[in-house]
Amino acid sequence: MRICLSHSSLKLTVMIHDRELRSLLHKFGLKVTAARLRVLGVLVHSPVALSHRDILEKMGEQTTDKVTLYRTLHSFADCGLIHKVATKERSWRYALHNGDPDTIPHDGDHAHFICDICERIYCMPAVIPDQKQQVELKRGFSLRSEEYRLHGTCPQCH
Amino acid sequence: MRICLSHSSLKLTVMIHDRELRSLLHKFGLKVTAARLRVLGVLVHSPVALSHRDILEKMGEQTTDKVTLYRTLHSFADCGLIHKVATKERSWRYALHNGDPDTIPHDGDHAHFICDICERIYCMPAVIPDQKQQVELKRGFSLRSEEYRLHGTCPQCH
DNA sequence: TTATTGTTGCAACAAGGTTGCAAATTGTAT
DNA sequence: ATACAATTTGCAACCTTGTTGCAACAATAA
């Protein structure tokens, strides 16, 4: 499944209301609760992956307990509504799967481009060489998955 | 410079004594202290990258204060004696640059193989395609560095 | 040998995250 | 609409990784 929520378009952003959020939760088999609606509301309006702290701050008045937020994010990630990306600052970033034409869905082999400046994480199409044969043959390593990370500056930060 | 300390050969391992460790510290412009000799002793005998906790445990009787260990590892990394690798468990792994014929020094493009079971991190020779051209041409991203990670099971855990 | 400078150990702290549990809320079956 | 079972929430306490400030101490250079 591929839910398309464009972040670049303000018009679309404004259109995301309670009804849409509820149906999104339903689609992923989650109970609709006040906290989940608020968290999802924040994620839906962000073009970049957010940290736990970012989300708490963006919730402002409507804030929740920090534990609730961690658990909410876990549920979202477990059912595939959002994805988690590890950062070198030993914390996680969370983002909705999005339909940005410049990125691809978060499955299959692809690269993550992590901007040094704004820390946005982009999923990029990439030709990743298959190392399985090479590595296994050489020393009995068996490969489960590959991750290719690119670090640099994104177009917005130039 | 390339310091060759084979981990696969017990004979060589046994040969690493106080004298060698001291000269290694000297070569990297570090003062020789008891704590540094002990930490270096542990790192020199490990074929895989170790966490702060691993090192403390391996030091056993000869243990140091945890802060001292953090600072020691920082000094080692700053001068290039060891390298740090980030893990998704929000902690660092530290390893000496080594001359193991099956791995390559930690500079230039290569891959990290991270074992799912024992979490050892291996530096692997790898043919990493240069994505710079492709990515920059396509959309104005500029690349600073690339990291290629392989996840799976290592020979020891089969 | 001494002066200078860098290193150690301790206590306290900070950020990110988890656990256990009682109270509140959701979805569902009636 | 009501009641019930199963989840979800919020709180307090806790854990892990890592850092800071500071006084005492040790390594090197003169």
- Write the DSSP string, A60-110: GGG---HHHHHHHHHHHHHTTSEEEEE-TTS-EEEEE----TTS--S-SS-
Give pLDDT, residue B84. Answer: 82
Give pLDDT, residue B25. Answer: 93
Cβ pair A93, A85 in contact under 8 A = yes
pLDDT, greater one: A73 or B124: A73
At B74-107, the pLDDT tens digits run 999 988 898 887 676 678 888 886 534 333 333 3
Residue B103 has a CB neighbour count (10 Å cut-off) of 19
- Beta carbons of A143 and B151 less than 8 Å apart: yes
Give pLDDT, residue A29. Answer: 92
Give pLDDT, residue A152. Answer: 75
At A57-70, the pLDDT tens digits run 999 878 899 999 99
Nearest Cα of chain B lies from the Cα of A96 at a distance, in angstroms, of: 20
Please report residues of B whose CB lies closer than 8 A to that of A70.
none
Over range B15-21, report the average pLDDT.
Answer: 76
Cβ pair A52, A92 in contact under 8 A = yes
- Beta carbons of B124 and A135 less than 8 Å apart: yes
The CATH architecture assigned to A1-99 reads Orthogonal Bundle (1.10)
Which of B7, B102, B148 to substitute to test the interface with A, most A CBs within 10 Å? B148
74-103 on B, CB < 7 Å from strand D: 74, 89-92
Give pLDDT, residue A111. Answer: 66
Considering only the top CATH level, what class is B111-157? alpha beta
Nearest protein residue, CA measured to C1' of D11: A65
pLDDT band at residue A10, thresholds of 50, 70 and 90? very low
Residue A86 φ/ψ region, left for φ over 0, alpha for ψ in the -120 to 50 degree band, beta for the rest: beta
Q: Sketch the domain layout of chain A as residue ranges.
A: 1-99, 102-158
Give pLDDT, residue A88. Answer: 63
- Angle, vertex CA B87, rays to CA B83 and CA B90, nearest 5: 115
DSSP designation for B157? G
Interface residues of chain A, partner chain B, Cβ below 8 Å: 86, 88, 90-91, 102, 111, 113, 116, 122, 124, 126-129, 131, 134-135, 138-155, 158
The CATH architecture assigned to B10-96 reads Orthogonal Bundle (1.10)
Q: How far is CA A150 from CA A133, A138, B60, B127, in A?
A: 23, 26, 39, 15
Over range A138-149, report the average pLDDT.
Answer: 66
78-107 on A, CB < 7 Å from strand D: 90
Over range A32-55, report the average pLDDT.
Answer: 91
The CATH architecture assigned to A102-158 reads 2-Layer Sandwich (3.30)
Give pLDDT, residue A133. Answer: 45
Q: How far is the C-alpha of B37 from the C-alpha of B64, rounded, in Å?
A: 11
> Quick check: B38 pLDDT over 50?
yes
